A and B are shown apart, each in its own frame.
Chain A
Amino acid sequence: MTAVAEIMDYDEVLRRFDPVLGLEVHVELSTATKMFCGCANEFGAEPNTRVCPVCLGMPGALPVVNGSAVESAIRIGLALDCQVAEWCRFARKNYFYPDMPKNFQTSQYDEPIVFDGGLDVVLDDGETFRVGIERAHMEEDTGKSSHVGGASGRIHGAEHSLLDYNRAGVPLIEIVTKPITGAGERAPEIARAYVTALRDLLRSMGVSDVRMDQGSLRCDANVSLTPKGESGFGTRTETKNVNSFRSIERAVRFEMRRQASLLENGSEIVQETRHFDESTGETSSGRRKEEAEDYRYFPEPDLVPIAPSREWVEQLRGTLPEMPWERRKRVQEQWGLSDEELRDLVNASALDLVAATVDAGASPSEARSWWVAYLSQRANERGVELAELSVTPAQVARVIELVGEGKLTHKLARQVIDGVLEDRGEPDEVIAADGIEVVSDDSSLQAAVDEALAAQPDAAEKIRGGKVQAAGAIVGAVMKATQGQADAKRVRELVLAACGQQ
C-alpha cells in the first residue's frame, strides 16, 4: 500500500480539501446480565462459562430484553440531548459469521431508541465544538474468536479458530454522529476529543466500564474529503476498531493524508473498511463495501416493540447525574481554578481522578499536582490513559496524607507511588516492604549537616553572616547525602541552628 514517503503533507491536505468525519462508537453496557438473557455480563471469565441456550443461539431459545439496558440506552440518549422514540422495534441483521451464534445480530435498524442530539466537545485550547448525534441504538455483542496456527494469532494464515461465546449477547449501544463538517485542520483532534468526552460522560453516568483496552468502548472512524470550494461528500472509508484515543487522532489524520494523495493523483477512493496499525500509524485495506453482505434487515418477530412512556422518560431524566460540563464549571468555582488550570486538568483527563482524590481527603492543589504532573508523565511513559494506571485516587490521597504528616518526603512519596504502580500493593505495604522512612533522627542528620558545612565553607560563612538563603545549598547537599530520605524542613532547621541563626 501507500508508503508514508509518498503521502501528502498535512498542511497541503488542508489547503486542498475539507475533511468530513463520521464516528461510530460501540459501548458495552455494564449491566449485570446480557442484553437478551440472564447470563452474567462479565469480562474475563473462563471460556464458555457465561452462556445459555439463548446466547448460544440454540434451536428454540428466545430472547427477552434486559429492561436495565433499555433504561441505560434512554439515559444515554437524554445525556446526549437526543429525542427518545415513542415506539421502536428491534431488527435482525442477517449475515453469517462464526462469532455470532444465530447468524443474525439482534439490533435496531431504522427505528433507533434515541436520535437527533449533540455533544459539546471541549478542545485542547478550551474552544467548544458541537458534534451532532444522529442516533444511538441497542444491539448485542458477538463472541470472541482466537486463531490458531499461522502468524501471531491473526485470522490470516490461521489453521483453525476457537470460539468463546461469553461476550455473545452483551448489551451494546452504538452511538453514531451526524457528519462532522467544518472541522478543518482540527478534525483529528475533534475525533479524539469527541470520543474522550463521550467516555467521560458515560463513565460519569456509570453505564459502562468504557475501557478501550478491554473493548468496552470501540470506535470506528469514517473519513472522506471534499475538494475545497465543492459541496457534497466524497467517498468515505471506515477505519475499524481503533483502540486508543491517541490512535483515533492518528488514524483520522493518516486517512486524510492518504485519501488526499490518491485524489491528487487522480485515483478514486475505494469505499471499504480499513484497519489501523498502531505500530506504523497507517491504515490498511480491509473489506470492500461493494462486497458487503446484503443484511436483509427485518423486524425481530421474537421481541415486541418498545414504547417508552413520556412519564418513564422523564423519570429517567431525573436520574441523570451531574453532566461533565456542569461538573467542570462547579469544580472550577469550588477549587478556584483559572481557565488554564481547568483546561490542563481536563486535557489530562484528570478531573474525575482529582475529584475522587479530594473526596478521599486530599487538598485540591495537592491532588491536582499529583495527577496532572507526576502521574500524567507516568501514564505517558507507559502509553496508557491516566485512568488506566493501577493507582486509585484513595491511594494517592493516602500518600498525600503521609507527606502532610511529615512521614514521607516528596521524593519518597514518588517512590511509594511507583511501588503502587508496579502493583506492589497499598502505599503502606510498599513503605513497609521497602523500609521507607523519613530520616528524622537528629543525631544522624546532624553528622550529615556538619559534613556538608565543612565541605562548603563559603556557604557556611554566608549563613553565619546572616544570608540565610545560602542554606539551600547545604540542605541540598544533605538531602543528596541521605538519598532524599531526610525531612528537608528539619535539615534546614539544623543547618540554621548550626550556623547560629536560630
Chain B
Amino acid sequence: MSTISRDEVAHLAGLARLAVSEEELDTFAGQLDVILDSVARVGEVAADEIPPTSHAVPVTNVFRTDEVRDGLSRGEALAGAPATEENRFRVPRILNEEA
C-alpha cells in the first residue's frame, strides 16, 4: 500500500522539526515502510458506517468554574528555561513569521 520515499521522510522530518541525517533518512524510509505496510491493515475493515472513536469514555461537558487559581511564581516558571532575559524566556532569532 505504501512506499514512502526519502523525500517524503525529509518532508515529515521538517513538519516534525527533526534535523535528521542523510543516513537516518534511509533508515526511517525503510522502517516506516514496513510499519505502514503492517498497520495499513486497518484499511481492510469496511467501516463506512462506523463512527470514529476519539475518546475512550463517553463523557461530555466537563467544565471548570471561572475562578482564578494560583499558578506558578515567575521564578518557578523560568527555573527550567535554557535561557532567560528580563524575566522572559530567551530564544534564538525567529526566522518564520507567525502562522
Contacts and interface: CB of A to CB of B under 8 A. Distances in A.
| Whether chain A touches chain B in the assembled complex (some CB pair under 8 Å) | yes
Interface of A: 31-33, 37-40, 46-53, 55-56, 64-70, 87, 89, 95-99, 142, 145-149, 155, 158-165, 273, 286-287, 292-294, 296, 298-299, 301, 303-308
Contacts of A158: 93-94
A66 to B, nearest CB: 5
A122 B92 CA distance: 48
Closest 5 CB pairs of A and B: A38-B69, A67-B63, A52-B71, A68-B66, A162-B88
Contact of A40 (B15, B55, B68, B72): B68
A303 B53 CA distance: 14
Given A48-B74, A96-B17, A304-B57, A32 B96 contact: no
Contact of B91 (A53, A66, A163): A163
Contacts of B60: 87, 304-307
Given A32-B68, A296-B15, A97 B93 contact: no
Interface string B81-99: 0000111111111101111
B77 interface: yes
A160 B71 contact: no
B9 to A, nearest CB: 15
A412 to B, nearest CB: 45
Contacts, number: 140
11 contacts: A37-B71, A39-B71, A50-B71, A69-B66, A97-B99, A145-B91, A149-B93, A163-B91, A293-B15, A299-B54, A304-B55
A161 B77 CA distance: 17
Interface of B: 15, 17, 54-55, 57, 59-74, 77-78, 85-94, 96-99
A89 B52 CA distance: 13
B68 A47 contact: no
A314 to B, nearest CB: 16
B87 A46 contact: yes
B77 A67 contact: no
A287 B89 CA distance: 25
Contacts of B85: 148, 160, 162
Nearest to A294: B15
A162 B39 CA distance: 43
Contacts of B72: 51-53, 56
B60 to A, nearest CB: 4
A273 to B, nearest CB: 8
Contacts of A97: 96, 98-99
A33 B67 contact: yes
B97 A286 contact: yes
B62 A301 contact: no
B93 A160 contact: yes
A397 to B, nearest CB: 33
B88 A48 contact: yes
A142 B70 CA distance: 20
Nearest to A146: B88
Contact of A66 (B63, B77, B92): B63
A60 to B, nearest CB: 13
Contacts of B65: 67-68
A161 B74 contact: no
B58 to A, nearest CB: 9
A38 B67 contact: yes
Contact of B69 (A33, A165, A294, A301): A33
Contacts of A65: 62-64
Contacts of B17: 96
Given A38-B71, A70-B63, A163 B88 contact: yes
Contacts of A145: 91, 94
B5 to A, nearest CB: 17
B77 A48 contact: yes
Contacts of A294: 15
Given A67-B65, A87-B60, A163-B91, 11 more contacts: A48-B74, A52-B71, A96-B17, A155-B94, A159-B93, A162-B89, A162-B91, A273-B97, A287-B97, A299-B55, A307-B60
Nearest to B11: A294
B69 to A, nearest CB: 3
Nearest to A275: B97
Contacts of B59: 304
Contacts of A298: 54
A48 B66 contact: no
A148 B84 CA distance: 13
Contact of A301 (B54, B61, B64, B98): B54
Nearest to A142: B98
Contacts of A307: 60-61
B77 A155 contact: no
A37 B64 CA distance: 8
Contacts of A31: 66
Contacts of B91: 98, 145, 160-163
B83 to A, nearest CB: 8
B42 to A, nearest CB: 16
Contact of B71 (A51, A64, A164, A306): A51
B15 A301 contact: no
B39 to A, nearest CB: 16
A272 to B, nearest CB: 11
Contacts of A67: 63-66
B97 A51 contact: no
B66 to A, nearest CB: 4
Contacts of A148: 85
